[in-house]
Amino acid sequence: MGMLTAEARPALTTLSEDERMFQEAVRDFARAEIEPRVQQMDSEQKMPAELIGQLFELGLMGIEIPEELGGTGADFFTSVLIVEELSRVDPSVGVLVDVQNTLVINAFNRWGTDDQRARYFPRLATDTVGAYALSEAGSGSDAFALKCRATQSDGGWILEGQKLWITNGDEAGIYIVFANADPDAGYRGITAFLVERDAPGFSVGKKEDKLGIRASSTTEIVLDGVRVPDTDVLGAVGRGYKVAIETLNEGRIGIGAQMVGLAQGALDHTLRYVQEREQFGQPIAEFQGIQFQLAEMATEIEAGRLMVYNAARLKDAGEPFLTPAAMAKLYASQMAQRVASVCIDLHGGYGFTREYPVEKYYRDSKIGTIYEGTTNMQLHTIAKQLLRAD
C-alpha cells in the first residue's frame, strides 16, 4: 500500500497519479466485493464480519495511522476518496470507514499521547473497529448537555450513563466516550475517555431499526460503573469539548464525501437504466427532458465533490477549513437527497420498488442532513463565521 503516500500536493481539482490509482482500486473492490452483498446487508441490517475483515486487509481502516504502527500512513484527503468510492456502492460501508478514519483515528492523531497511539493504533489498523460516543437522549445538536458522568476514583475514573445514536456501536471494540467530570463547570467539565468493549460495566444496548444505512449499526451504549484509568483520558481533563468540536469539524467533510458518493452511485444506475428503458419506440435517454435532468444532476454532484475536496485539501494543508467543511456538508447532504429523488423519478414505477437499487440510495440520503451536525447547525456555523469576518 505504499502508493498511498502523497508526495507533491496536486492542484485542488485534480488527483495525483497515486490518488487516482488508489481510487480505482477501491472502486473495483467495492463493485466486486460489496455490491453483491448490498441488498442482503440492507435487509438483514448487518455488515458481514468477513467484509469488515477485507476492509482491514486492504488498509482502509487505518489511513492516517503511521506505517510503523500498522497503518497506511496517508493523508486525510485519501480517507475522503475512500469514503466517496465505498458510498458510491453502499453508504453503510462508507460511514463505517468514515467514522473509523475521520473521527476516531483523527481524534487520536490530534489529542492522543504517544503511549495511547502506540497501544491503540496497531489494533485500529488491523482488526478493531472504533466508535465515537458523544450523543445522548437529550444531547444532540446541543452536544454538550451531557448527563453521562465521570467521577474520579483511585487513579482513574468511574463512568455512569447512557449514549445513543452510536455509529459502529455493534462492531466496535474501542469507544471514545464523552462524559462530564465536573458538572458545575458546564461544558468545561466534559472529558473524553477511551473505553474497551470488554470493560466491566460496559454493554451495547438497543440497536436502532433505521430508515436508511441499515447495514451500519446505530446503537445505545450503557456505562454502569465503568472504570477507566487516567492513562486512557484522551486529551486533558475538561478539554473534551475541544476534542469533540475539532474532530466533528473534520468528520463533516467525511459525511460530505459519503453524500457525494451516494449521489454518484444513484446517477450511475440511472444512466444505465435510461439507455435501456424504451418508450415511444426509443430509449428514454433520447428525450431532451431526460437529458437535461441528467445534466443538472451531474453538475450538482461535481459541485459537491469539489466543495468536499477543497475542504479536505485545506485540512491537510493546515489552513482554516471550518466554513468550507460546513458548506461542503450542507450542500452535499441536500444535493444527495435531490439527486436520489430525481433518480427514482427517472426509473418510474420501478424506482419505487426494491427491485432496483435507487430506492435504497434515496433512503440512505436522508441521514446526511441529520448526523454530524444537522442542516440548521451548518447554517448557524456558516452565518456565524460570515458575521465574525465582517
Q: pTM above the 0.75 mark?
A: yes
Superfamily of domain 242-389: Butyryl-CoA Dehydrogenase, subunit A, domain 3 (1.20.140.10)
CB atoms within 10 A of CB 285: 18
Catalytic residue annotation: 372
- Position 1 scores a pLDDT of 33
Q: Report, in this order, helix, strand and coil percent for the chain, each rounded to 5.
A: 60, 15, 25
What is the structure's pLDDT at 218? 98
Render 125-139 in DSSP notation, one character per residue: HHT-EEEEE--BTTB
Q: Which of 92-101, 177-186, 225-234, 381-390 has the lowest mean pLDDT?
A: 381-390
Percentage of the chain with pLDDT > 90? 93
The alpha carbon of residue 219 and the mean position of all alpha carbons in its chain are separated, in whole angstroms, by: 16
Q: Is the pLDDT of residue 240 over 70?
A: yes
Q: Label residue 10 by pLDDT band (50, 70, 90).
A: very low
Q: What is the structure's pLDDT at 380?
A: 97
Locate 277 and state its grid cell.
Answer: 428503458
Please tell me the predicted confidence (pLDDT) of residue 235. 97
| pLDDT at 387 exceeding the cut of 70 | yes
Q: Are 325 and 315 in contact (CB under 8 A)?
A: yes
Q: Note the pLDDT of residue 390.
A: 62
pLDDT for the residue 13: 56
| Domain residue limits, the chain | 7-129, 132-238, 242-389
At residue 3, does pLDDT exceed 50?
Answer: no
Question: Rounded distance, CA 93 to CA 299, Å?
Answer: 25
**pLDDT for position 11:** 38
Amino acid 143: pLDDT: 82
**pLDDT average, residue stretch 328-336:** 98
pLDDT (average), residues 240-265: 97
pLDDT digits over 124-146, tens only? 999 999 999 999 999 988 888 99
* Fold designation for 7-129: Butyryl-Coa Dehydrogenase, subunit A; domain 1 (1.10.540)
pLDDT in tens, 254-292: 999 999 999 999 999 999 999 999 999 999 999 999 999
- How far is CA 121 from each of CA 57, 58, 127, 191, 321, rounded to the nearest angstrom? 15, 16, 10, 21, 26
Write down the pLDDT at residue 262.
Answer: 98
User: What DSSP character marks residue 59?
Assistant: T
Give pLDDT tens digits for 112-126: 999 999 999 999 999
Query: pLDDT for 22-73, tens place per residue?
Result: 999 999 999 999 999 999 999 999 999 999 999 999 999 999 999 999 999 9
The CATH class that applies to domain 132-238 reads mainly beta
Query: Are 7-129 and 242-389 in the same CATH fold?
Result: no
User: Measuring CA to CA, how many Å separate 76 from each of 83, 107, 283?
Assistant: 11, 12, 42
Amino acid at the residue 239: R
Q: What is the mean pLDDT of the chain?
A: 95
pLDDT of residue 8: 32
7 falls in which pLDDT band (50, 70, 90)? very low
